[in-house]
C-alpha cells in the first residue's frame, strides 16, 4: 500500500480532468491524475476497424467488467445495459466522440425563468425539477472562447456580438469573435440537407466541431476519412484532450498521470474537509493519495457513485450531500430518427466527419414559439449516417428497413445493395427536462470488476412533455426528408424509456446550498476543498451536445482555483 | 484433443484470402484443384454446412448478386465463436437472467457459443431442406435470441474487414459500394455530387501495407 502527497488529485482524465491538470499544473500546483483506462496515442488509431470500434465499442467501457444498470421505474428490477456510452481512457469520451462542439444558448441557462416569462408557470410540468443555472451565458462566454481557441474548433459564427450572420447559426448566443477555424467542408448529405432546409425556410449550417479544418497548433487538418464517432482520430485532427491538454499538462512538469487506477473512495476527516482519495492500482493494490484539493472529473455515473460510496458519519447519505440532491435529476438526450433514401442520387454519406454533419437550430431551446404546443424546449436537428458512423455494419445494424422490406432475405440484401450509398438519416436530439425521480444510485446486487456496486439508473423519458416534443420534432424530420428529395422516408422505432446519449445531472449546481450539491464552480457547498466538475453539475441539459460546455466550465473552475482559491482556500461563493 | 475439422469451399470465393491460425499467425489460403480446405475452430464440418445454409437465406446469393456463402460469413462466425466474443467477453454475465426492456438486450445465461449449439439443434437438418422450407424454418425461430445473433453475425460477416474471416474478396463492400476504411476523402468529399463513387475497395491490410491482426486474438 502506497501513500503519496500532492497539492491536487483529479479523478478522471477526460474532457474536464485534462483541462484542470494543464491549467493547475501551469500555476505551479502539483497534480496527480487518476485514470482507470490506458493512455493511448494517435499511432494506436491507424486501423479503422468498424467491427472493433463501432460494433464492439472497443474504446468504450466494457459492460462485462464495468456494468451500469437501468430500470424504468423504482418498482422495476434494474439490469445491466449492454452498451455504455462514455469514455474509458485518458482523454475520456473526447478520444472517440463525434467532436460536435456547441455553445449553449442564452436561454439554456435560464430555462425556468424564460419559460415562466413567455408561457407562464403552468407550462412547466408539475413533476419537473426545472431550475435556472447559477450563472449566465455571459459569465461563461470568455471560457467558451478560450476552449474553442485553445482546443481548436471549426465553424462559422452566426451571431457576432449581436450581429446575425447568414450561413452560421443565427440562433446561437452572441460570441466575441469568429471561430478559430473555418467550417469543415460539407459532404453531399450536408448539401442536400442545406437545400431541403432552405426550401422549408429553416436556417441550416455546418455543425461546429472540434475537428481541424486547417492545420492548427502543430496538428494536421482533417482527412475526411469519416472515422470520428466511436473511433480515435488517426491523424490527431480531432481536438481530443489526448492531443490538446494532456501534452500541455505533461509540459508543466507538475503533472503525474496514473493509468489503470480505479478510485474507490474520497477520504475525509471530521473537520469538514476531504483529505485525499484511495484507489486500486493496476496490480490490484490499495493506495492512498493525500491532497489539499480533490477534484472529481469522471462521467456522471462515477461522480455520483464516488460520493455515495464515500459516505461518513457526518454525511450518512453520501459525501457532500447535506442537500439530499446527490444522484437526482438524471437527464439524457433522446434521438428520434427518420431514414431517407434517394432514387435519383447517390449520397455517399460515409465520407467526412460522421456525427451530426450539418445542422439546424430553428426548433431547439426557445428558438420558436411554443404557444399552443403541449411541451416546452425542443431539439437540435442534423443529418448523419444511421448511428453517426458511416460504415456498412453501422448502417445495417442501426437502420430498420422501410415498411414492406423484410429484415433478411433477398429483398433485404437488395435494399442494402441499392441504398447504402443513397441514404441519409435526419436526427433530432431533444432537450429533456429534469425530474427528481430520475436518479443514479448504487445497485444492490450488481458489482463491477473492482467489487464496487454498479451505478444504477432509474429513468424513463416517456413523459407527456417529452413524448409531445419528440412527436413534434419527428414531424419536422419527415418534412425535411421530403424537402431533401427523398423518395422514401420512414421512422426509426423509439425505445422503451432507457437513457440515450450525453447524460447530465446527479451533482447539480445551484445558488442555494440547501437545494444543490455544488456552486457554479463545481465546488461542494459542504466541503470547500472538494470540486465536482462535468455534466453531472448541469441543472438543465440543452438540446446541444454537452462537451464544449463541460470544457468551458472546466476552464472557469480552473480560473477560479488558480486566481482565487489558491490564495484563499475557502468557499468561492 | 478434438479432431481438426475443415470446411471445403469453392476456390473462386476464397483463393488468396488471408486467414488466421489459432496462434494468430496469418496464413494465406491458396486454391488447389478448384477447392480450398479451411480449418474450423468452433464448428464441426457438418455444423458449418448448416450455418452456411442458414446465412445463405439471410443474405442469399442469386443472379442479382453474391451473398453470405461467397463472403465466407461462416468462417467469420466460426472465428468469433471460438474467441473471447463467443465466451461473452462483452456482456455482464452474473445474472439475474431476467428479460425486460428491449434496451437491456439479451439477459439470458447462454454465451454466444452456447446459443449457437442450441440454435444448431433448432435448425436440425436445415441444409437438406428446400429453400422455401428453409425460409419457413427461419421464420419459425425469428424471435429467438439465436436468430437475432445469426442475423447480426451474418451482417458483420458480410461487411467486416476481411481480417476477421468474412467479406472474402471484399464482396460485401463491393455489393453495397463501400470503398473500405480509406484514410482520406479530402479530395472526394465535396465532389461526385449525386453521383456514385466506386473506386476499387481496399482492406485494412491493403491500406496499411501489412497484415492486420484481429484484436479479439490479442486480448483475453
Q: Are A390 and A354 in contact (CB under 8 A)?
A: yes
Which structural domain range is residue B162 located in?
5-218
Tell me whether 0.90 is exceeded by the ipTM.
yes
**Chain A residue at shortest CA distance from B88:** A64
Contacts of A397 in chain B (CB under 8 A): 152, 155
What's residue B212's pLDDT?
A: 75
Query: What digits encode the pLDDT tens for the residues B100-115?
Result: 788 899 999 999 999 9
What's residue B20's pLDDT?
A: 39
Residue B15 reports pLDDT greater than 50: no
Extents of the domains making up chain A = 3-565
Distances (CA, A) of B81 to A197, B78, B87, B92, B114: 46, 5, 7, 17, 9
Q: Give CA–CA dist A345/A279, Å, rounded.
A: 56
Contacts of B71 in chain A (CB under 8 A): none
Query: What digits encode the pLDDT tens for the residues A210-257?
Result: 999 999 999 999 999 999 999 999 999 999 999 999 999 999 999 999
Q: In angstroms, how far apart are the furthest CA atoms of chain A?
A: 72
Interface touch B64/A351, C-beta < 8 Å: no
Q: Give CA–CA dist B116/B113, Å, rounded.
A: 5
| d(CA A192, nearest CA chain B) in Å | 9
Q: Domain tally for chain B?
A: 1
| d(CA A497, nearest CA chain B) in Å | 8
Contacts of A77 in chain B (CB under 8 A): 96, 98, 100
User: CATH assignment of A3-565?
Assistant: 3.50.50.60
Of B67, B103, B185, the CB nearest to A225: B185
What is the average pLDDT score of chain B?
85
Q: Give CA–CA dist A261/A533, Å, rounded.
A: 19
A401 Cβ contact list (under 8 Å, min separation 6): A407, A412, A415
| pLDDT interval class at B217 (50, 70, 90) | low
Interface touch B104/A352, C-beta < 8 Å: no
| d(CA A350, nearest CA chain B) in Å | 8
Contacts of A81 in chain B (CB under 8 A): 103-105
Backbone angles phi, psi at A530, to 5 degrees: -125, 125
Q: What is the mean pLDDT of residues A176-198?
A: 97
Interface test with chain B among A60, A79, A357, by most B beta carbons within 10 Å:
A79
Query: What digits encode the pLDDT tens for the residues B179-202?
Result: 999 999 999 998 888 988 888 899
What's residue A252's pLDDT?
A: 98
What's residue B3's pLDDT?
A: 62
Q: What is the mean pLDDT of residues A517-523?
A: 98
Query: What digits encode the pLDDT tens for the residues A430-452?
Result: 999 999 999 999 999 999 999 99
Interface touch A77/B96, C-beta < 8 Å: yes
Q: Which of A297-306, B4-13, B37-46 has the highest mean pLDDT?
A: A297-306
Q: Which of A98-107, B59-68, B164-173 has the highest mean pLDDT?
A: A98-107
| pLDDT interval class at B19 (50, 70, 90) | very low
What's residue B21's pLDDT?
A: 38
Residues present in chain B in total: 220
What's residue B36's pLDDT?
A: 73
What's residue B102's pLDDT?
A: 86
| pLDDT interval class at B211 (50, 70, 90) | confident
Residue A284 reports pLDDT greater than 50: yes
Query: What digits encode the pLDDT tens for the residues A451-466?
Result: 999 999 999 999 999 9
Per DSSP, chain A holds a count of helices (H) and strands (E) of 11, 21
Query: What digits encode the pLDDT tens for the residues A35-79?
Result: 999 999 999 998 899 999 999 999 999 999 999 999 999 999 899
For chain B, strand residue ranges (E) read 6-10, 18-20, 26-28, 35-39
Residue B22 reports pLDDT greater than 50: no
What's residue B9's pLDDT?
A: 65
Interface touch A409/B58, C-beta < 8 Å: yes
Listing DSSP states for B86-100 in one string gives GGTTTS--S------
Of B62, B96, B103, the CB nearest to A81: B103
pTM score = 0.95
Amino acid at each position: 500500500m502506497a501513500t503519496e502527497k500532492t497539492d491536487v488529485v483529479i479523478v478522471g482524465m477526460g474532457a474536464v480532468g485534462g483541462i484542470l491538470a494543464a491549467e493547475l499544473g501551469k500555476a505551479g500546483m502539483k497534480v496527480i491524475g487518476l485514470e482507470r483506462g490506458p493512455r493511448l496515442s494517435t499511432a494506436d488509431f491507424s486501423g479503422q476497424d468498424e467491427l472493433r470500434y463501432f460494433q464492439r465499442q472497443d474504446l468504450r467501457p466494457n459492460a462485462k467488467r464495468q456494468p451500469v444498470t437501468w430500470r424504468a421505474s423504482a418498482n422495476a428490477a434494474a439490469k445491466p445495459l449492454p452498451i455504455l456510452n462514455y469514455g474509458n481512457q485518458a482523454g475520456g469520451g473526447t478520444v472517440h466522440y463525434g467532436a460536435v462542439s456547441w455553445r449553449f444558448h442564452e436561454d439554456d441557462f435560464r430555462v425556468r425563468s424564460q419559460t415562466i416569462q413567455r408561457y407562464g408557470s403552468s407550462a412547466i410540468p408539475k413533476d419537473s425539477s426545472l431550475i435556472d443555472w447559477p450563472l449566465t451565458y455571459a459569465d461563461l462566454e470568455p471560457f467558451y472562447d478560450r476552449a474553442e481557441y485553445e482546443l481548436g474548433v471549426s465553424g462559422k459564427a452566426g451571431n457576432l456580438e449581436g450581429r446575425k450572420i447568414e450561413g452560421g447559426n443565427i440562433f446561437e448566443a452572441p460570441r466575441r469573435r469568429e471561430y478559430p477555424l473555418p467550417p469543415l467542408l460539407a459532404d453531399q448529405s450536408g448539401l442536400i440537407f442545406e437545400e431541403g432546409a432552405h426550401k422549408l425556410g429553416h436556417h441550416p449550417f455546418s455543425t461546429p466541431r472540434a475537428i481541424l479544418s486547417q492545420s492548427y497548433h502543430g496538428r494536421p487538418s482533417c482527412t475526411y476519412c469519416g472515422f470520428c464517432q466511436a473511433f480515435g482520430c488517426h491523424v490527431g485532427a480531432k481536438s481530443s484532450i489526448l492531443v490538446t491538454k494532456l501534452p500541455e499538462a505533461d509540459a508543466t512538469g507538475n503533472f503525474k498521470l496514473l493509468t489503470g487506477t480505479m478510485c474507490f473512495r474520497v477520504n475525509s476527516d471530521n473537520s469538514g474537509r476531504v483529505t485525499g482519495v484511495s484507489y486500486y492500482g493496476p496490480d490490484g493494490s490499495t493506495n492512498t493519495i493525500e491532497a489539499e484539493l480533490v477534484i472529481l472529473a469522471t462521467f456522471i455515473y462515477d461522480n455520483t457513485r464516488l460520493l455515495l460510496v464515500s459516505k461518513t458519519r457526518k454525511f450518512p447519505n453520501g459525501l457532500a450531500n447535506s442537500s439530499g440532491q446527490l444522484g437526482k435529476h438524471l437527464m439524457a438526450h433522446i434521438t428520434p430518427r427518420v431514414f431517407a433514401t434517394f432514387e435519383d442520387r447517390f449520397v455517399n454519406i460515409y465520407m467526412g466527419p460522421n456525427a451530426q454533419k450539418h445542422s439546424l437550430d430553428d426548433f431547439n431551446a426557445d428558438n420558436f414559439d411554443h404557444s399552443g404546443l403541449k411541451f416546452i424546449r425542443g431539439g437540435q436537428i442534423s443529418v448523419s449516417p444511421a448511428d453517426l458512423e458511416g460504415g456498412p455494419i453501422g448502417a445495417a445494424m442501426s437502420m430498420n428497413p422501410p415498411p414492406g422490406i423484410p429484415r433478411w432475405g433477398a429483398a433485404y440484401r437488395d435494399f442494402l445493395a441499392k441504398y447504402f450509398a443513397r441514404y441519409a438519416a435526419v436526427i433530432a436530439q431533444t432537450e429533456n427536462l429534469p425530474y427528481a425521480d430520475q436518479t443514479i444510485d448504487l445497485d444492490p446486487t450488481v458489482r463491477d470488476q473492482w467489487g464496487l456496486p454498479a451505478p444504477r439508473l432509474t429513468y424513463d423519458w416517456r413523459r407527456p412533455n417529452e413524448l409531445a416534443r419528440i412527436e413534434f420534432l419527428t414531424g419536422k424530420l419527415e418534412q425535411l426528408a421530403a424537402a431533401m428529395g427523398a423518395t422514401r422516408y420512414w421512422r426509426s422505432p423509439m425505445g422503451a424509456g432507457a437513457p440515450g446519449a450525453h447524460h447530465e445531472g446527479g451533482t447539480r449546481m445551484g445558488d442555494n446550498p440547501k437545494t444543490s450539491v455544488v456552486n457554479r464552480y463545481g465546488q461542494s457547498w459542504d466541503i470547500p476543498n472538494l470540486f465536482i466538475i462535468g455534466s453531472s453539475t448541469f441543472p438543465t441539459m440543452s438540446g446541444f451536445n454537452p462537451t464544449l460546455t463541460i470544457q468551458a466550465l472546466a476552464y472557469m473552475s480552473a480560473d477560479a482555483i488558480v486566481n482565487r482559491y489558491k490564495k484563499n482556500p475557502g468557499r468561492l461563493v | 484433443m478434438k479432431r481438426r475439422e475443415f470446411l471445403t469451399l469453392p476456390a473462386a470465393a476464397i483463393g488468396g484470402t488471408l486467414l488466421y491460425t489459432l496462434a494468430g499467425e496469418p496464413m494465406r489460403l491458396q486454391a488447389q484443384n478448384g477447392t480450398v480446405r479451411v480449418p474450423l475452430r468452433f464448428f464441426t464440418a457438418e455444423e458449418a454446412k448448416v450455418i452456411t445454409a442458414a446465412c445463405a437465406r439471410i443474405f442469399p446469393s442469386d443472379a442479382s448478386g453474391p451473398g453470405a456463402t461467397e463472403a465466407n460469413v461462416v468462417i467469420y462466425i466460426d472465428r468469433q465463436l471460438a474467441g473471447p466474443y463467443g465466451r461473452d467477453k462483452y456482456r455482464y454475465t452474473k445474472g439475474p437472467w431476467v428479460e425486460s426492456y428491449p434496451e437491456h438486450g439479451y439477459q439470458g445465461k447462454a454465451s454466444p457459443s452456447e446459443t449457437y449449439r442450441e440454435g444448431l439443434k433448432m435448425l436440425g437438418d436445415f441444409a437438406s431442406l428446400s429453400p422455401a422450407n428453409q425460409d419457413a424454418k427461419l421464420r419459425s425461430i425469428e424471435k429467438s435470441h439465436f436468430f437475432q445473433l445469426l442475423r447480426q453475425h451474418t451482417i458483420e460477416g458480410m461487411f467486416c474487414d476481411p481480417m476477421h474471416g468474412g467479406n472474402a474478396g471484399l464482396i460485401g463492400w463491393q455489393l453495397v459500394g463501400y470503398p473500405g476504411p480509406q484514410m482520406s476523402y479530402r479530395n472526394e468529399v465535396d465532389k461526385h455530387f449525386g453521383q456514385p463513387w466506386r473506386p476499387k475497395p481496399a482492406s485494412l491490410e491493403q491500406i496499411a501495407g501489412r497484415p492486420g491482426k484481429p484484436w479479439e486474438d490479442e486480448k483475453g
